[in-house]
């Protein structure tokens, strides 16, 4: 048996922002920790959901996760998914862990509320999470995931920062291809700064390139978009937040040349030959802060591609109690999962939000100055959210650690059993326990921002 410095062992499901911070906080308090991650790399949405033009931010935050997970007393177990390779009931009842922390994130797209729409997934309909995953990785030589052909005149349904990322991807990819067809060489990083500037430099317009541009449909107004980090807790603050959201949208449209259709919600689908060919929308009004449909205002928008970007929620796992799309808690503040004395949840698994901005709003103690340029603001916003998440996790871990310490020490044979079982899972995916070597071997090919 390896040298033991403590007699409590904690399991964490998910190794990204929340999971790695929880592991770090527990390890420095003397607890032994096992971090299970469904992917071979632990980075979660920093790798697979943060668009790949954020090179410096992505690399910085992934190195921070590496620093936390490679420390002593933390055992990383990659390629192990809860509900597939290990099971919640077994983990709770048979492994012997002092506590189990769920940092599983919010990977499942919120269903588009149109009857029968999901039968057209990959038949004209794409959801945001797999779409951005594809965008982040399709350039890799060994990429074997799904392929999503980009189409001009696409429809995006949503209204948060994630939907704006989808819009950027569509506009960057279609303009990039159209410029290449004219023999004009450019790259994603240049276009991401401003498509309008690139076209102006070549004395071109979207029409000159034969492009229409995508359209973002939102059920509320631009001023209602959740783009501002300002808490709307007073009428003055709400007015300021609305002004900021309006400014961000104007800047965004000016840079990326897409169309925006506010106060329009999807109510039906347009299907031809078993393919989704567009959506039926209904106009809305905002009355006392609520969305109200306008009778008789339906209209049809044709499109070869519809992308739903209306939010992310935790994936349901057998054995874990849920209230609708969210975990059910004994006390939302403690994040103790109902029915289990030693099971807790952290991060986006608690908020039910995979959207960066919405996660930031969950921690309202953060205040930000909005930058003049959206790109700079978004990077700053994301980093502030990460730091807030870490601070929140540290506070929760202090409370959880106190509860764990009240439990009896685990027998050595239980600890050894956990070590043996986790080592078997590591061997199954070819991981020898050398974290840094594993990361170096598996880190994907990167595009360079020259």
Q: How far, in Å, CA of 280 to CA of 217, rounded?
A: 11
Q: Express each pLDDT in 282-320 by its tens digit.
A: 999 999 999 999 999 999 999 999 999 999 888 888 899
What angle, 0 to 180 degrees and rounded to 10, lies between the N-to-C axes of helices 435-442 and 55-69? 150
pLDDT in tens, the chain (450 residues): 344 445 789 999 999 999 999 999 999 988 999 999 999 999 999 999 999 999 999 999 999 999 999 998 999 999 999 999 999 999 999 999 999 999 998 889 999 999 999 999 999 999 999 999 999 999 999 999 999 999 999 999 999 889 999 999 999 999 999 999 999 999 999 999 999 999 999 999 999 999 999 999 999 999 999 887 677 788 898 898 899 899 989 999 999 999 999 999 999 999 999 999 999 999 999 999 999 999 999 999 999 999 999 998 888 888 999 888 888 888 766 688 999 989 998 877 665 544 434 333 332 222 222 223 333 446 666 676 667 677 778 888 888 888 888 777 888 899 999 999 999 999 999 999 999 999 999 999 888 754
User: What pLDDT is stored for residue 298 in this prediction?
Assistant: 98
The closest of 110, 95, 138 to 308, measured between CA atoms, is 110
Q: How far, in Å, CA of 79 to CA of 89, rounded?
A: 19
User: What pLDDT is stored for residue 379 in this prediction?
Assistant: 66
Q: Express each pLDDT in 56-83 by its tens digit.
A: 999 999 999 999 999 989 999 999 999 9
User: What pLDDT is stored for residue 394 in this prediction?
Assistant: 81
- Quick check: 209 and 179 in contact, CB under 8 A? yes
Which structural domains are found in the chain, ordered by start? 9-107+313-442 (3.40.50.720), 111-310 (3.50.50.60)
Q: How far from each other are the two terminal CA atoms of the chain, in whole angstroms?
A: 50
Long-range contacts of 267-271 (CB under 8 A, 24+ apart): 267/114, 267/293, 267/298, 268/114, 268/115, 268/298, 269/114, 269/116, 269/117, 269/120, 270/300, 270/302, 271/120
The closest of 262, 281, 168 to 223, measured between CA atoms, is 262
Cβ-proximal residues to 15 (8 Å cutoff; 6+ apart), any chain: 23, 35, 36, 37, 42, 43, 44, 65, 69, 76, 103
- Quick check: 389 and 106 in contact, CB under 8 A? no
Distance of CA 52 to the CA centre of its chain: 13
Q: How far, in Å, CA of 250 to CA of 281, rounded?
A: 23
């Amino acid at each position: 048996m390896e040298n033991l410095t403590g007699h409590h062992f904690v399991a964490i499901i998910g190794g990204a922002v929340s999971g790695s911070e929880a592991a770090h906080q527990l390890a420095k308090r003397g607890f032994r920790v096992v971090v299970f991650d469904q992917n071979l790399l632990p980075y979660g949405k920093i790798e697979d959901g943060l668009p790949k033009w954020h090179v410096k931010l992505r690399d910085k935050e992934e190195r921070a996760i590496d620093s936390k997970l490679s420390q002593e007393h933390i055992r990383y177990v990659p390629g192990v998914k809860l509900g597939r390779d290990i099971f919640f009931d077994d983990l709770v009842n048979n492994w012997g862990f002092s506590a189990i922390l769920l940092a599983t994130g919010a990977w499942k797209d919120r269903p588009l509320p149109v009857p029968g729409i999901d039968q057209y997934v990959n038949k004209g309909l794409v959801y945001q999470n797999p779409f951005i995953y594809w965008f982040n990785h399709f350039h890799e030589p060994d990429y074997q995931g799904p392929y999503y052909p980009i189409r001009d005149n696409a429809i995006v349904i949503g209204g948060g920062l994630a939907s704006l990322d989808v819009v950027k991807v569509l506009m960057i990819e279609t303009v990039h291809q159209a410029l290449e067809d004219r023999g004009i060489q450019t790259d994603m990083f240049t276009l991401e700064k401003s498509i309008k500037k690139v076209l102006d430099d070549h004395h071109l317009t979207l029409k000159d390139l034969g492009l229409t541009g995508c359209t973002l449909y939102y059920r509320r107004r631009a001023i209602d978009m959740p783009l501002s980090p300002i808490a709307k807790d007073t009428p003055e603050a709400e007015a300021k937040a609305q002004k900021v959201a309006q400014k961000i949208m104007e800047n965004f449209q000016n840079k990326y040349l897409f169309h925006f259709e506010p106060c329009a919600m999807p109510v039906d689908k347009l299907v031809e030959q078993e393919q989704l060919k567009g959506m039926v929308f209904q106009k809305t009004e905002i009355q006392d802060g609520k969305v109200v449909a306008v009778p008789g205002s339906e209209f049809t928008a044709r499109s070869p591609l519809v992308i739903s970007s209306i939010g992310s929620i935790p994936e349901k796992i057998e054995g874990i109690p849920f209230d609708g799309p969210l975990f059910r808690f004994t006390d939302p503040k403690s994040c103790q999962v109902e029915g289990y004395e030693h099971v807790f949840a952290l991060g986006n698994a608690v908020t039910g939000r995979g959207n960066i901005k919405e996660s930031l709003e969950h921690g309202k103690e953060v205040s930000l100055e909005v930058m003049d340029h959206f790109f700079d603001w978004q990077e700053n916003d994301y980093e502030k959210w990460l730091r807030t998440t870490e601070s929140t996790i540290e506070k929760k871990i202090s409370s959880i650690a106190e509860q764990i310490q009240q439990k009896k020490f685990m027998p050595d044979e239980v600890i050894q059993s956990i070590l043996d079982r986790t080592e078997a899972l590591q061997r199954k995916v070819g991981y020898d326990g050398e974290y840094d070597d594993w990361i170096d071997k598996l880190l994907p090919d990167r595009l360079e921002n020259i």
